[in-house]
Structure 1
Amino acid sequence: MISSLVHKYLDFKYREVEQFINNPILTQEKILNYLIKSGTNTYIGVQYDFASIKNKDDFRKSVPVFHYEDLKPYLEKILIDKRQDVLWNKPVKWFAMSSGTTNDKSKYIPVTQESLIQGHYKCGQQMLALYAHSNPQAKFFLGKTLVLGGSKQVNNIGDGIFTGDISAILIKNLKFWAKYSRTPERISLIPDWESKLQELTDYAIRKDVRAFMGVPSWLLVLLKKITVDTGRELTDLWPNLEVFFHGGVSFTPFEDQYRKLINKDSMIYWETYNASEGFFGSQYSGDSKDMLLMLDNNIYYEFVPMSEWDSDNPTTLTLEEVEIGQNYAVLITTNGGLWRYMIGDTIEFTSTTPYLFKITGRTKHFINAFGEEVIIDNAESALSEACAVTGAHIVEYTAAPIYFGDNSAGAHEWLIEFDVEPADIHLFRVTLDNALKKANSDYEAKRSHNLSLQDPVIRVLPKDSFYNWLKYKGKAGGQNKVPRLSNNRDYVDNMLIFLEMSGA
């Protein structure tokens, strides 16, 4: 009876999905009108004369593209001046702490009651509806869902405003019936990662766990601990285990590890795209990992072609203007108070009937194999500090992830060519690691107790290695640059193969 009732409810939610699939452009236009109307009398709405905006073309002409640095003055009016009509016509109660920018350890993304209910929660239910539609025999809801969220608690910073990891905010505001089927809140919000792991292990081994939900890198650490502590196979512990709803980082580097840990052909891995700024996509069917763009979540989308990514005033495309196979940066306007905001993610549409896509990366070089989101500025400042402490001078460098092994966590591998080598390479590595922790809260969390990320690996390369490599590739010259950071090992492995071939 429970199964029948749940499936009927999910069928109802699937009909919501069908409605925006059948009317994608109209759905988006209605959302834009609602957002503009709601924002007209706000501080930003008055500044950019939202009252005169009649359509999407007016919107593109009147409101500039915002990056996080552009958004900060508005956030300060809320956080410091305690003003509540700045970005949205209702209070911004929460700020989701996300990965740092060039000048900040963490970003503070505004979250409203509307963005939680009409965005994150609504799309979460629609994601489950998509899964159930593809898997009519689904019964994961009859057991427990093991949820591994971020380690930041929700913190009250005064005047009814709270900060925390988006997963903590979502958990804190869930309805009681939704909390019942998940990991208890008291465990999910434990700030100390090691304590949380132990509590989750003790809890999970006693329950009928049928689903996982979380970031692949973090969850893998927990599952490995459970197998070691219990000495049992996961399928023995949880014979009804059915699905892992995953997101946050690419699943590709972790897939083999999961299939080894969960020796069950029927286990399903379902991709999602849920960020601090909103819930944007869910895997559409069991036949492909391509995700459906969620269009009725009160988020209005625009897309920036690759050729425009570095422009101060980029050309933007609306949904009906995108093409299959092109790389776009995602621009969003939301009921969380974000206006034409560049989130930094890049996608490629694989279909426009319906609108399916895959995530292709970020607009800038970065490393985010384990959710650490190390950006160029983090790397540059950390390397500068390591050089200052050890008397070193760097000519060129590149870095990439080392993925999880059977018996090891991941790491970052740095290929560095020095003009002056550090007096103490161990001190250089430690200083680099600590400086990255100071600059980036997500890197700091992933390095905690060496659980997701072990110590960085430093490879000192011979003189002229990068020049000879670029010359070998036919790319010697001033306009060709060494990629500083990469989220895959293509550059690093290519460089190492070249060095081996050349006998360096």
Structure 2
Amino acid sequence: MSVISDLTEKANDKLKILEDLTSNVKQIQDNVLEEILTLNTNTEYLQRFFHGKFDKEIFKKNVPVVTYEDVKPYIQRVANGGPSNVISTRPITGFLLSSGTSGGAQKIMPWNEKFLDYLTFMYDLRMHVITNYVKGLEKGKAMMFYFTKLESITPSGLPARTASSSYLKSSYFKNRPCNWYYTYTSPDEVILCPDNKQSLYCHLICGLVQRNEVTRMGSIFASVMVRAIKSLEDSWEELCSNIRSGQLSEWITDPGCRDSVSMVLGGPHPEVANTVEKICNEKCWKGIFKRLWPRTKYIETIVTGSMAQYVPTLNYYCNDMLPLVSTIYASSETTFGLNLNPLCKPEDVSYTIMPNVSYFEFIPLDGDENDVVDLADLKLGCSYELVVTNFSGLYRIRVGDILLVTGFYNKAPQLRFIRRDNMVLSIDMDKTNEEDLFNAVTRAKIIINSSGLMLTDFTSYADVSTIPGHYVIYWEVEDKREDKTKHMELKEDTFSECCLVMEDSFDNVYKRCRFREKTVGPLEIKVVRYGTFDSLTDFFISQGASIGQYKTPRCIGSGKPLELLEKSVVATFFSTGDCSFKN
């Protein structure tokens, strides 16, 4: 049997599994819940709600819908050395770290091998979905910007890692199938390097020296792709020098990187270096992805949610010639589903929920919060907040994702990610909600008030036109001592201090991105003309908003409202100092 026919047969098997899963949603979901309850009824957490009998009806009646803060004490007990059966009969083998909460601490989610079983299942399934849409991928390699972070060890002796690091450091990745989907330009040693700067440089040099073999490229999040192209802009001359000589720069000190990349280089490549140098020397980098990697067919990266803001940047570097493909919807709680129409536009991405990986419930946004509905009962056009019960000890936990039902694949709902609950700003791993923003502005107002000025209104914008992206806060101020039509003195040191005070008010995830990893740029305050926010109100009313219920949006997206604000800017100020980040 040929390689192509073998791949086709395996793809047909996987697609049959997909058809079966999506055609029997209710029964599979009921079976998943029964399995979870049968295994875990005697855990300390669930024993409080079951008294000798357990079934779906009692589960829904007695087990409360909770937030992370509600179950954190139970998770923390296991992390501190308590037995797994506090929350799970199946042994907890580690913890997944979320990107961070508004309070500055990362969530830790329990996990076991079941999590990786389903994650691997989803990765395998997406491979076969994409082959229905893109041909010829098996004839090349993937240039994937995958990274791992140093793990921490909890008092229990169990590791705490990000979800991506958990997979990349697991036997599932190490022993992955030897097929085109798992064949990368970068050696595993580069992916596993704990120094992300060295890892990124090595990803680039491996991808460049094998530029004619690359048929797809990507990263987990779109922000990483933007960071990669920025790194290429900063270091292409050094990269070309390394490729020309066949020798890595001395600052690449990680032994795994040096040894494995030296093998990839295999000696000098002056022709490759000359070609890359000629391309990168051009003043305009529009479409550079396709010029550097001419066989590339698509970019695989998450462009939904807060990552949508990077789509224009990536489209520029692709010259709109490469599809941006969001394949999987997942979080630290569980893996949810797949995009079964991978070549759709980023704004049209919906994920088909796989009913076998966890038990899913949904809180209607426009109904009674206590009226929690099952996956099989979702209604087209309605929005819901997601609730998860998984195989790792989480029961009816609110994920915080707001989703819209856009359709069905067989009987499986297809959901579009709308937003995080109460989310306002995000550039990289930072997540700043409305409460955080209000608290930061409140602290900065003290400085403004003491200078004789008064803040009358504000909004914000996550600006990713700069690299790195940064927060922009639009302020309308008035002079408390003078007529509003007269010129106000806007002192740079006053507003720069306001910028820094705001940054100091944000959580440690923001500060880590801003001051240590430098993936978020200095916060900017833009002062707008007096009356600008009245004009903003008029605009939204003209678009159908009710004047009786209008509230100033605390975060502005692109479009007319942003143009209105930008045309009204009279002064700009940046944060220029450091803050109290100690970690």
- If the TM-score is normalised by the length of the shorter chain, which range does it land in? 0.7 to 0.9
Alignment of 1:368-387 (within 5 A): 368=426, 370-387=428-445
Q: Tell me the distance in 2 between the aligned counterparts of 1:92 and 1:446.
A: 33
* Counterpart position of 1:483: 553
- Give 2:166's match in structure 1, choosing from 141, 164, 169: 169
Matched-pair contact (CA < 8 Å) for 2:114–2:391? yes
- Give 2:494's match in structure 1, choosing from 421, 424, 433: 424
Alignment of 1:344-363 (within 5 A): 344-354=400-410, 355-363=413-421
**SS in structure 1 opposite 2:64?**
coil
* Counterpart position of 1:238: 293
- Give 1:146's match in structure 2, choosing from 141, 144, 147: 144
Q: Tell me how far 1:279 sits from its aligned partner.
A: 1.7
Deviation string 1:206-237 (CA, Å, 9 cap, x unpaired) is: 33333323211111220343356154343344
* Counterpart position of 2:462: 401
Cα–Cα, structure 1 residues 239 and 472, in superposed 2: closer, same or farther, change >3 Å? closer
Q: Tell me the distance in 1 between the aligned counterparts of 2:292 and 2:51.
A: 57
Letter of the 1:8 counterpart: E
1:412 paired with 2:413, answer no
* Counterpart position of 1:196: 199
- Give 1:324's match in structure 2, choosing from 370, 380, 394: 380
Q: Tell me the distance in 1 between the aligned counterparts of 2:79 and 2:535.
A: 51
Matched-pair contact (CA < 8 Å) for 2:337–2:351? yes
Deviation string 1:375-406 (CA, Å, 9 cap, x unpaired) is: 2233244344545677577554321212336x
* Counterpart position of 2:63: 63
Of 257-266 and 367-376, more deviation after overlay is shown by 257-266
* Counterpart position of 1:214: 220
Cα–Cα, structure 1 residues 20 and 431, in superposed 2: closer, same or farther, change >3 Å? same
Q: Tell me the distance in 2 between the aligned counterparts of 1:472 and 1:247.
A: 32
1:257 paired with 2:259, answer no
Cα–Cα, structure 1 residues 467 and 71, in superposed 2: closer, same or farther, change >3 Å? farther
* Counterpart position of 2:123: 124
Matched-pair contact (CA < 8 Å) for 2:340–2:352? no
Cα–Cα, structure 1 residues 259 and 353, in superposed 2: closer, same or farther, change >3 Å? closer
Cα–Cα, structure 1 residues 282 and 377, in superposed 2: closer, same or farther, change >3 Å? same
Q: Tell me the distance in 2 between the aligned counterparts of 1:146 and 1:292.
A: 22
Q: Tell me how far 1:371 sits from its aligned partner.
A: 4.3
* Counterpart position of 1:334: 390
* Counterpart position of 2:509: 441
* Counterpart position of 1:91: 91
Matched-pair contact (CA < 8 Å) for 2:303–2:324? no
Cα–Cα, structure 1 residues 177 and 99, in superposed 2: closer, same or farther, change >3 Å? closer
Letter of the 1:36 counterpart: L
Cα–Cα, structure 1 residues 260 and 181, in superposed 2: closer, same or farther, change >3 Å? same
Matched-pair contact (CA < 8 Å) for 1:235–1:264? no
Q: Tell me the distance in 2 between the aligned counterparts of 1:138 and 1:36.
A: 45
Q: Tell me how far 1:168 sits from its aligned partner.
A: 0.9
**SS in structure 2 opposite 1:16?**
helix
Q: Tell me the distance in 1 between the aligned counterparts of 2:98 and 2:71.
A: 14
Question: Higher relative contact order at CA 8 Å, sep ≥6: structure 1 or structure 2?
Answer: 1
Cα–Cα, structure 1 residues 374 and 195, in superposed 2: closer, same or farther, change >3 Å? farther
The structure with the greater share of residues assigned to strand is 1
Matched-pair contact (CA < 8 Å) for 1:99–1:442? no
Letter of the 1:172 counterpart: K
The normalised TM-score by structure 1 is: 0.85
The normalised TM-score by structure 2 is: 0.74
Q: Tell me the distance in 2 between the aligned counterparts of 1:456 and 1:380.
A: 15
Cα–Cα, structure 1 residues 128 and 414, in superposed 2: closer, same or farther, change >3 Å? same
* Counterpart position of 1:458: 525
Q: Tell me how far 1:338 sits from its aligned partner.
A: 1.6
Q: Tell me how far 1:344 sits from its aligned partner.
A: 0.8
Matched-pair contact (CA < 8 Å) for 1:115–1:278? yes
Matched-pair contact (CA < 8 Å) for 1:248–1:274? no
Q: Tell me how far 1:369 sits from its aligned partner.
A: 5.1
Matched-pair contact (CA < 8 Å) for 1:53–1:62? no
**SS in structure 2 opposite 1:48?**
coil
Matched-pair contact (CA < 8 Å) for 1:215–1:249? no
* Counterpart position of 2:249: none
**SS in structure 1 opposite 2:98?**
strand
- Larger Rg, first or second structure (1 or 2): 2
Q: Tell me how far 1:132 sits from its aligned partner.
A: 1.7
* Counterpart position of 2:364: 305
Letter of the 2:82 counterpart: K
Matched-pair contact (CA < 8 Å) for 1:28–1:295? no
Q: Tell me how far 1:321 sits from its aligned partner.
A: 1.9
> Which stretches in structure 1 are left out of the alignment for 5+ residues?
none
Q: Tell me the distance in 2 between the aligned counterparts of 1:491 and 1:379.
A: 23
Of 409-418 and 342-351, more deviation after overlay is shown by 409-418
Cα–Cα, structure 1 residues 382 and 100, in superposed 2: closer, same or farther, change >3 Å? farther
Q: Tell me the distance in 2 between the aligned counterparts of 1:98 and 1:414.
A: 26
Matched-pair contact (CA < 8 Å) for 1:39–1:50? no
* Counterpart position of 1:279: 335
Cα–Cα, structure 1 residues 494 and 326, in superposed 2: closer, same or farther, change >3 Å? farther
**SS in structure 1 opposite 2:366?**
helix
Cα–Cα, structure 1 residues 92 and 186, in superposed 2: closer, same or farther, change >3 Å? same
Q: Tell me the distance in 2 between the aligned counterparts of 1:476 and 1:353.
A: 37
Cα–Cα, structure 1 residues 402 and 31, in superposed 2: closer, same or farther, change >3 Å? same
Cα–Cα, structure 1 residues 106 and 377, in superposed 2: closer, same or farther, change >3 Å? farther
Q: Tell me how far 1:6 sits from its aligned partner.
A: 3.7
Q: Tell me the distance in 2 between the aligned counterparts of 1:85 and 1:245.
A: 39
Of 258-267 and 384-393, more deviation after overlay is shown by 384-393
Matched-pair contact (CA < 8 Å) for 2:84–2:91? yes
Matched-pair contact (CA < 8 Å) for 2:353–2:414? no
Letter of the 2:214 counterpart: V
Matched-pair contact (CA < 8 Å) for 1:84–1:90? yes
Q: Tell me the distance in 2 between the aligned counterparts of 1:141 and 1:213.
A: 20
Q: Tell me the distance in 1 between the aligned counterparts of 2:82 and 2:38.
A: 23
Cα–Cα, structure 1 residues 94 and 54, in superposed 2: closer, same or farther, change >3 Å? same
Q: How many residues align?
A: 488
**SS in structure 2 opposite 1:199?**
helix
Letter of the 1:245 counterpart: E
Cα–Cα, structure 1 residues 209 and 264, in superposed 2: closer, same or farther, change >3 Å? farther
